[in-house]
Structure formats: C-alpha cells, structure tokens
Amino acid sequence: MKEFIIATNNSHKVAEIERILSPLGFTAVTAKERGIDLGDVVEDGDTFAANAYIKAKHAFDLCHQPVIADDSGLCVDALGGRPGVYSARYGGHDASPLVKISMLLDEMKNVPDDRRSAHFTCAVCCILDEDTVIEVEGRCEGMISHRMSGDGGFGYDPVFVVDGRSFATLTAEEKDRYSHRGSALRKLRDALEASLS
C-alpha cells in the first residue's frame, strides 16, 4: 500500500482524496498525522495549478515521500472570475465560510438568473519523487443560487448548484461524481495507474 502525504489540514479534502484513491490501494494522511509541521506556505501563484505545485513542492521537500496538494476555487462569471484563486481569502484570511457566502450573495443580489453561471476549478499536483510530477485539473460548471441550501459539503457548496441541487445537498458519492475535485482526482488516479503499473 502506498502512502501519500496530503498537503492540507482540511479533513474534507483528505476524505475526498481517500475515497477516490483507496481503490488503488493508496492511503492518504496529512503531514500533521505524521508529525510534520508544514508551516505557512505563501500561495502567490496566479493560477490554481501554480499554487498546487507550490504546496506540493513545499511538502515534498519536508516529507521526502509522495505528496498530493490541490488548489481550488470558485470562479463566478458575473464577477469577472472572482473570487478565483482568492476563494479561500475572499473576505479576509479569517472570514468564516458563512461570511464568504454572505459576501458573495450580496455581490450577486442584482444579478439575474441567466447570468449567475459559475464554475469550480481544482488543480492537483502529485510529486512522486524528484523526477516525477503529475499535474491534472478538473472543472465543474454550475450556477450561484440566491440562497443557501443543504448542510453538507464545505466552503461555497451551499450556494453552488448543479442540476438543480446545491453541492451541500449531495451525498459524498454524488459529489465525487460531479465535483471539480472528483474530476481532477480521477485523472490523477488514471495517471498514477499508468505511472506505477
């Protein structure tokens, strides 16, 4: 069984990665679970892919074993693609998910239904060793609702709607099927199967 260090302390992300990669016999653990402090990483890339690589390289240099990092965010067409790479910092570093969602809905309050399109993007970077870097990206198209619904998921899930349902109303399995992270991780799974076979 191959163990990957996941360069995040977000338990939701670790669970998603574990669900999709475990059928290949991979386990996902955080650096913290292995007693490694990743510290603060400056995510100053101007793309999701750049930030995913920054996080993965930082973790690999500290852990010296295979790592997976991702960077993801919400891009709203009516807002010119914002919050984009600043999704986690939208409203300030310490803003709660509820504050971020409230800000978003406030910015969108006068936007009509036919202009509320948005997408989630997830870039994943996997570093297996000094010479092997796998980078993939997934995307999920949807709409921003006028109000929150559902109590599952995390982040912007309560206002991101696909096929009439918010991400926060989907089961874990349904979300894996639709989501940007699920799409990216399936691509990573296929790439890992090819590279490790």
pLDDT (0 to 100) of residue 30: 87
144-165 pLDDT, tens digit each: 999 999 988 789 999 999 999 9
Task: Determine how many CB atoms are found less than 10 A away from the CB of residue 39.
Answer: 8
Cβ atoms of 17 and 6 closer than 8 Å: yes
Tally of domains within the chain: 1
* Rounded Cα distance, 86 and 92, in Å: 9
pLDDT (0 to 100) of residue 82: 96
Mean pLDDT highest for which of 8-17, 28-37, 70-79, 152-161? 70-79
Tokens of 93: 């570093």
Q: What is the pTM of this model?
A: 0.88
Residue 94: C-alpha distances to residues 41, 148, 184, 186, 194 (Å): 16, 21, 27, 32, 40
* Rounded Cα distance, 74 and 138, in Å: 12
| Bond into 97 cis (ω within 30) | no
Task: Determine how many CB atoms are found less than 10 A away from the CB of residue 38.
Answer: 19
Tell me, what CATH number does 167's domain have? Answer: 3.90.950.10
114-135 pLDDT, tens digit each: 999 999 999 999 999 999 999 9
pLDDT (0 to 100) of residue 103: 96
Count of positions (residues) in the chain: 197
Q: Angle of helix 180-196 relative to helix 11-21, nearest 10 degrees?
A: 50
> 139 lies in which domain range?
2-196
Catalytic residues: 71
Give the chain's largest Cα–Cα span. Answer: 53
